[in-house]
Amino acid sequence: MTVTPENESSAALPAPVVRVTPAADVALVATFGALLAVCSLTSITIGLVPVPITLQTFGVLLAGAVLGARRGALATLLYLAVGLAGVPVFAQGAAGLGVLATPSVGYLLAFPLVAWVVGLAVERIRHPRRWLLSTLAATLAATVVLYLIGVPVMAWRAGVPVSTALAWNLSFIPLDLVKAVLAAVVGAAVHRAFPDLLRRR
């Protein structure tokens, strides 16, 4: 096969570079905070389960997968701060400090840790071929962390046994698996396109 100068120059083109500056950090954190608010707009209530199903978990996992540990956690903290300050960005239009008394508060307060867990894992990925599987493992592990915090708090705030809260939580698992896969696929695609987006550890 003959390599023409045109093909040679195309092959030599570097991957797109994203300059990570303080201003870019702020913009990315704010963007993902807004994404979380958008993800809360769609909510589904199932039977007696007091916590609705939303796309928030997808947004949190994606924030960690794309932004890394620190910025991903900051994006979720920004989202929580805005909601607790009274802006109706939580599921079903909820807002304010009253959210802290609801059965969903454990899941909400776990968001920064979930994003941090995913981000910490992706910051350690070195080989591009491992992006998808490694990120998927991270999003699945972080989903388990979400449950470990959310389920007992839901049981406490709803006044039911943990076994009942666990049974309620089962209804979240199918869609949460889909969200974990989607977050991993999108996150891996972003980092293949922009390999300098993360600060490697």
Provide the β-strand partners of residue 44: 53
What's the pTM value of the predicted model, to 2 decimals?
Answer: 0.87
CA angle 82, 84, 89 (to 5 degrees): 55
CATH number of 18-193: 1.10.1760.20
What angle in degrees, to the nearest 10, is found between the helix axes of 105-122 and 131-158? 160
Q: What span, in angstroms and rounded, lies between the C-alpha atoms of 169 and 174?
A: 10
pLDDT by position in tens, the chain (length 201): 555 555 544 444 444 444 568 888 999 999 999 999 999 988 888 888 999 999 999 999 999 999 999 999 999 999 999 999 999 999 988 999 999 999 999 999 999 999 999 999 999 887 777 889 999 999 999 999 999 999 999 999 999 999 999 999 999 999 999 999 999 999 999 988 888 887 655
- Quote the CA–CA distance of 54 and 91 in Å, as a whole number: 7
CA nearest neighbour of 113 among 59, 69, 173, 154: 69
Return the structure tokens found at 114.
Answer: 């979930």
Number of Cβ within 10 Å of residue 158's Cβ equals 18
Token output for 78 = 């920004």
Q: Is 155 exposed, middle or buried (0-12, 13-18, 19+ CB in 10 A)?
A: buried
